[in-house]
């Protein structure tokens, strides 16, 4: 996926606006940085090529300057020996070389201009990369904060649930304790049926006791 098609696209891009419109800002920022880094390598490679060409042109100019001095000396020598024909030829060669020097100086000026442009582009590109890195870090921090908030909400809900369960368990234990106390209070106490059965049994005993007493009195009187 290519975000930028040319160096000028990167340098003129509104990174903030692009990231704000992106569905996945973090992924977009990473892609931007990757493309910027690749473009920076290309610009630096081209700058290195221009520097090599500039050094070569400077060496040629230096050699031409030596030739100019040499042809000037030859023309002077020819005049000293009254050989104006040779002097003219030497000066003619000098003029040719001066033309070469001018051409190379024009090339050097062009190379210097391109290098200055590359230097400015590299500086702007590095600034854009720095901005993109800051944006990426900011996006990651916001996502981490959001993730922590989700975790905290989840933990809070879990803690609330556990507290509620603990409260219900405590209430159940309280109810169980109350039931146990009531059950304990009923231990050893006769039920209603048991009490009536006891009364009936006591009545039968009393009747039998009276009958026995009556029988004993009768027997004694006899």
Judging by beta carbons within 10 Å of its beta carbon (0-12, 13-18, 19+), is residue 107 exposed, middle or buried?
middle
What is the structure's pLDDT at 40?
Answer: 87
Give the mean pLDDT of 152-181. 64
- pLDDT tens digit string along 28-71? 778 888 888 888 888 899 999 999 999 999 999 999 999 999 99
Q: For 101-105, 111-115, 188-192, which range has the lowest pLDDT when averaged over its residues?
A: 188-192
What is the structure's pLDDT at 2?
Answer: 47
CATH number of 7-165: 1.10.287
Domains of the chain, residue spans:
7-165, 193-222
* pLDDT score of 178 more than 90: no
Give the mean pLDDT of 100-105. 94
Tell me 23's DSSP state.
Answer: S
CB count in 10 Å sphere of residue 125: 20
Is there a contact between 115 and 50 (Cβ–Cβ < 8 Å)?
A: yes
- What pLDDT band is residue 103 in, cutting at 50, 70 and 90? very high
Percent of the chain surpassing pLDDT 70: 58
What is the structure's pLDDT at 35?
Answer: 83
Indicate the average pLDDT of the chain. Answer: 77
What is the structure's pLDDT at 186?
Answer: 52
- pLDDT tens digit string along 189-216? 555 676 666 667 666 666 766 766 676 6
- Give ∠ CA 205-208-211 in degrees, rounded to 5: 150
Question: Full-prediction pTM beyond 0.75?
Answer: no
* pLDDT score of 182 more than 80: no
Instruction: Give per-residue burial for 67-98: e unless 16+ CB within 10 Å, then b.
Output: bbeebeebbeebeeeeeeeebeebbebbeebe
Tell me the backbone φ, ψ of residue 2, rounded to 5 degrees: -105, 125
Give the mean pLDDT of 97-115. 94
What is the structure's pLDDT at 189?
Answer: 52
């Amino acid at each position: 996926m290519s975000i930028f098609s040319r160096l000028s696209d990167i340098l003129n891009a509104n990174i903030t606006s692009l990231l704000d419109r992106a569905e996945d800002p973090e992924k977009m920022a990473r892609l931007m940085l990757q493309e910027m880094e690749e473009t920076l390598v290309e610009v630096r490679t081209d700058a290195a090529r221009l520097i090599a060409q500039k050094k070569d042109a400077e060496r040629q100019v230096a050699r031409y300057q030596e030739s100019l001095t040499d042809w000037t000396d030859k023309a002077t020598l020819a005049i000293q020996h009254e050989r104006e024909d040779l002097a003219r030829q030497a000066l003619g060669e000098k003029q040719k070389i001066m033309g070469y020097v001018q051409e190379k100086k024009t090339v050097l000026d062009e190379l210097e201009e391109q290098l200055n442009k590359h230097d400015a582009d590299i500086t702007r590109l590095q600034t854009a990369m720095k901005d993109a890195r800051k944006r990426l870090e900011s996006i990651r921090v916001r996502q981490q904060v959001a993730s922590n908030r989700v975790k905290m909400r989840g933990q809070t809900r879990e803690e609330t649930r556990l507290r509620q369960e603990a409260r219900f368990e405590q209430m159940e234990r309280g109810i169980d304790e109350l039931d146990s106390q009531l059950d304990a209070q009923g231990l050893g106490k006769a039920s209603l049926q048991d009490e009536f059965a006891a009364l009936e049994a006591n009545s039968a005993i009393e009747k039998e006791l009276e009958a026995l007493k009556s029988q004993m009195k009768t027997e004694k009187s006899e």
